[in-house]
């Protein structure tokens, strides 16, 4: 009987040991399978996100346009095109950048400089002709009489003042108007180039946004300063304003 009980006990112990080992093995196998499934899902999610990002980026690239007649919400100007348009015709670069309020400024500036060139060129031409006539000595060449003061006889004026003196006056005024004409031409070219630079900068900074951290703060403050005297420890104080910038 005792031997039978021992045999049953040993048999039950063996079954229990086998069962425990089987459970441990099954748990490990299930855990490995579970981890493999998670890795697979992560890969799938990652691939889907990548494809979605690529698709979104592709749509964004397709939608943005630098065409002259592109819709406003899709328009992104090209600095190179802005400069080319501005070089072809003044103000066209500003129109390309949708900065329409600058077009009258460009036209007004160029019109003013053009008028200055024309006005100075006209006076330069007249004084040049008068100077040539008075230096020629030809009595029939009398374009200089237009610059004699009104109500004065030209021949008497020339006799009183002298031909050389009057010729010097005409020469000085001719040179003066030539200087102003040349300066007007230089300023016109400079304004033309400035319009091109303006078009380039506007196109380059078209999508620039000001940082939200930019702020200014003004607050009252008390300014204190210790007296430099060795026997005086009184603090000198004054009221003031504290002006601080944050960017």
| Together in a domain, 178 and 227 | no
Q: What is the mean pLDDT of residues 175-186?
A: 97
Q: Considering the domain boundaries, does residue 71 fall inside one?
A: no
Calpha distance 157→113 (Å, rounded): 36
| Together in a domain, 109 and 200 | yes
Structural domain total, the chain: 3
Q: Considering the domain boundaries, does residue 209 fall inside one?
A: no
| Together in a domain, 88 and 146 | yes
| Together in a domain, 95 and 191 | yes
DSSP string, 86-153: HHHSTTHHHHHTT-GGGHHHHHHHHHHHHHHHHHHHHHHHHHHHHHHHHHH--TT--GGGGGSPTTS-
Write down the number of H helices and E strands in the chain: 6, 2
Q: Considering the domain boundaries, does residue 70 fall inside one?
A: no
Q: What is the mean pLDDT of residues 169-190?
A: 96
Q: Considering the domain boundaries, does residue 51 fall inside one?
A: yes
| Together in a domain, 113 and 4 | no
For the ranges 59-63, 131-135, 211-215, 234-238, the lowest mean pLDDT is seen at 59-63
Q: What percent of the chain has pLDDT over 70?
A: 66
This prediction's pTM: 0.58
Q: In this predicted structure, what is the pLDDT of residue 139?
A: 83
Show the domain range for 21: 1-63
């Amino acid at each position: 009987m005792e031997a039978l009980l021992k045999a049953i006990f040993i048999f039950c112990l063996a079954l229990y040991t086998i069962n425990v080992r089987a459970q441990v093995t099954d748990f490990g196998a299930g855990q490995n399978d579970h981890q493999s499934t998670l890795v697979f899902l992560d890969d799938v999610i990652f691939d889907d996100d990548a494809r979605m990002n690529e698709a979104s980026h592709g749509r964004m690239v397709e939608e943005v346009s630098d065409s002259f007649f592109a819709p406003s919400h899709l328009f992104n100007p090209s600095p190179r095109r802005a400069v080319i348009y501005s070089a072809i015709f003044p103000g066209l670069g500003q129109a390309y950048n949708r900065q329409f309020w600058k077009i009258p400024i460009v036209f007004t500036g160029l019109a003013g400089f053009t008028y200055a060139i024309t006005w100075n060129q006209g006076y330069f031409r007249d004084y040049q002709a008068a100077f040539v006539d008075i230096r020629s000595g030809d009595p029939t060449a009398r374009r200089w009489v237009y610059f004699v003061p009104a109500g004065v006889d030209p021949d008497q004026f020339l006799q009183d003042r002298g031909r050389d003196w009057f010729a010097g006056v005409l020469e000085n005024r001719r040179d003066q108007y030539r200087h102003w004409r040349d300066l007007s031409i230089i300023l016109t070219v400079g304004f033309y180039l400035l319009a091109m630079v303006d078009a380039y900068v506007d196109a380059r900074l078209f999508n620039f946004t000001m940082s939200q951290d930019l702020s200014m703060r003004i607050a009252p403050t008390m300014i204190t300063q210790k007296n430099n005297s060795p026997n005086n420890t009184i603090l000198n104080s004054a009221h003031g304003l504290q002006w601080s910038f944050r960017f």
